[in-house]
Amino acid sequence: MKTDNALCSEAMDILVKTLGLMDAERFLCMIKRETFDYTEWRRGQWNDMTVDEIFDQAAARYQARSATNN
């Protein structure tokens, strides 16, 4: 199990790599200032999609990233 500091550092690295520094900061500020229940948001995020649709979307994003990184 990671320490809290290690987890925060890794999460911030992922956010910055994925969103860029400005959007990562905006995301964190948005969560802090709003009454935002992340767990509840995640529960309902893919309610209208099947497992196959979620997998296909994830696979497409992975392939797009792999093509960009090569």
Q: Which amino acid is at 19?
A: L
Q: Where are the domains of the chain?
A: 4-69
> What is the rounded CA–CA span in Å between residue 4 and residue 36?
21
Q: What is the mean pLDDT of residues 24-29?
A: 90
Residue 56, CA atoms < 13 Å, CB-side half-sphere:
5
DSSP summary character for residue 34: S
DSSP sequence for 51-64: HHHHHHHHHHHHHH
pLDDT band at 48 (very low <50, low <70, confident <90, very high): confident
Biggest CA-to-CA distance, the chain:
40
pLDDT of the residue at 70: 63
Whole-angstrom Cα Rg for the chain: 15
